[in-house]
Amino acid sequence: MTANPVKITDTTFRDAHQSLMATRLRTADMEPLAPAMGSVGFHSMEVWGGATFDSATRFLGEDPWERLRSFKRLMPDTPLMMLLRGQSLVGYRNYADDVVTAFVRQSADAGIDIFRVFDALNDERNLQTAAQAVRESGKHLQIAICYSVTEEGRLGGPIYSLDYYVKKAVRFLEMGADSICVKDMAGMMAPYDAHDLISALKQAVDAPLQLHTHYTSGMASMTALKAIEAGLDVVDTCLAPLALRTAQPAVEPLTVALAGSDRDPGLDLDKLLDLGDRLESALPPYRKHMESPRAAVIDARVLSHQIPGGMASNLVSQLREADALDRLDEVLEDIPNTRRELGYPPLVTPMSQMVGSQAVSNVLFGRYEMVSDQVKDYVRGLYGSPPASIDPSVAALALGDHDPITARPADLIEPEMEQAREAVKSITSDVEDVLTYALYPTTGLRFLRIKHGLEELPDEMKPDSPQAETGGASLRTVRRASDAPPKSARARRFNVYVGDDLFEVEVDPVESTPPVAVSAVSAGGGRPPQAQARPAGGTDITAPMPGIVLRYLVEEGQTVSAGDPVVILEAMKMENTLPSPADGSVAPLPLKPGTTVKKDQILATIVR
């Protein structure tokens, strides 16, 4: 070992697959690699937080708490790190202080050693409660500064200057940070800017400095190298199969590049290569999640739209679901304008989701014709202080009759833990389950029903069938045989070849069978009853894009006026309150909260 080796944090089990495939890597595919990963000699393993908690419960049917405990058992000698979104924890809004404190304490008990805590607006008020809870738990508190730039594309300008970052680092150290991370979510940090920034921070703060960046723009390896030359203490990388593109730099070439230098990390290249091969063999079932409409490995346009890796993959997925992937370029062009109008927030969760989803709405429905509840709350000040002034016309649209607030946002939130306990007491009293519900009252409740045997695991949450290596295709059960109409005499057998594999299937023309209503699986378990016939003369409220019905704000028979809120639809992880299109009364509600809906599906009908 050299006297001053740069330390390596591995992100393979968290941000790497979050960035490339919307956080879909399953615990069962990571566990076989974990013991060997724990023996490499990494400074730490980032394994939790970010979107992993939401994706595990919403899409994979997995308990994220069990995932964490499994990693701790399999990698006992390597510190485990999580990414914590300050007062937003692992969600998309600010939570009450009692939820933040309970979540941090339970995360520490379950196995987290290092908490990387950040706020999307770098507003220290949103870090106070989480930071205090980490210190009280006796764990390592790392506070991250979200790195961003304005139209200049480089460090400097009227907002994100060298002085801005130095002052933030000094303030975060005063708050008790054990180390400081510079979090470059979109890969916007240029190499020489990294050298200047790390050099300045080294002079200003007496604490270890860590760099987290993404390869999106193609600069990340150069940026990491220049930061290391400037004295960087720790750098984030991942194994090659999940590296580059919108993820982190690959650890293998960096290990070779630094070999024999005074910053040599001292990692075993052969061990890393073997782990990469093993990871590669586990990835074929996930190829569909890694598809991209772009041929380029890097996205030079990120230098304009600045969308971080995890949001980029989600944006593509969401536009594909809305059958609007052909409008991706329009959305990317709108994002810089939307960001400027919203006061140049750093594009990191939840601000990246807010700006990205607003840009999608601007393109699909007209600029600011549809504004999510979260964007309205942000404009009011409920997420903290924006770095610059919000465009007055946008502020007027979003604020409506509300006044902006200047208090610490969490001071306006009543305690939530007792209410969460009460809501799930018929299912569970376990504090981890209570926290899961507190974070995600709709999707979290559905997961708890599945976990405790009150609802079957739906097909869409099950792992895909094993895939042929050559074709990358898979066969899935679309509908259970018990739910399907009887097979007709017109059914025929066919051989289906997928690569070198042969499948014998029966194909029955749909028109030969009695029609069956198709509806989403509800949060209450099983299939909801067929909706009643649509009332004659009614006016429908339809889903403007695919999403989840979070809750209805009205009841059957209730009288409403045009513009009154009726239903909240979660789309692109943002809540959208849909109003009544006319005066009238509410017809029987066709769906249950938690139902996944398609674009243009009827959510409610107003009758005169």
Q: 591, 570 in Cβ contact below 8 A?
A: no
pLDDT of residue 186: 87
Give a yes or no: residue 321 inside a domain: no
* Pair (430, 493) in one structural domain: no
pLDDT of residue 491: 67
Q: What is the DSSP letter of 59?
A: I
* Pair (19, 113) in one structural domain: yes
Q: In the chain, count of helices (H) and strands (E)?
A: 21, 18
The three-class DSSP label of residue 173 is: helix
* Pair (245, 104) in one structural domain: yes
**Burial grade of 74 (CB within 10 A; 0-12, 13-18, 19 or more):** middle
Domain end residue (candidates: 232, 255, 290): 290
Tokens, residue 576: 């959208």
Give a yes or no: residue 23 inside a domain: yes
pLDDT of residue 467: 34
* Pair (436, 480) in one structural domain: no
The per-residue pLDDT of the chain, averaged, comes to 87
* Pair (116, 51) in one structural domain: yes
* Pair (562, 431) in one structural domain: no
* Pair (167, 280) in one structural domain: yes
* Pair (438, 471) in one structural domain: no
**Model pTM?**
0.80
CATH number of the domain where residue 563 is located: 2.40.50.100
Mean pLDDT of 374-392: 93
Q: Which pLDDT band holds residue 504 (cuts at 50, 70, 90)?
A: low
Q: Which pLDDT band holds residue 105 (cuts at 50, 70, 90)?
A: very high
**519-547 confidence digits (pLDDT tens):** 333 333 333 444 455 666 789 999 988 88
Q: Domains in the chain: how many in total?
A: 4
Give a yes or no: residue 145 inside a domain: yes
CATH number of the domain where residue 215 is located: 3.20.20.70
Q: How far apart are CA 508 and CA 489, in angstroms?
A: 8
Q: 116, 181 in Cβ contact below 8 A?
A: yes
* Pair (452, 568) in one structural domain: no
Domain end residue (candidates: 250, 266, 290): 290
Domain end residue (candidates: 267, 290, 313): 290
* Pair (490, 569) in one structural domain: no
* Residue that is written with structure tokens 């995360």 in the block: 107
pLDDT of residue 470: 32
Tokens, residue 268: 């075993």
For residue 491, give its domain range: 464-512
Q: Treating both helix axes as pointing N-terminal to C-terminal, what angle do 64-74 and 97-110 enclose, rounded to 10 degrees?
A: 30
* Pair (60, 86) in one structural domain: yes
Give a yes or no: residue 474 inside a domain: yes
* Share above pLDDT 90 across residues of the chain, in percent, rounded to a whole number: 64
* Pair (446, 474) in one structural domain: no
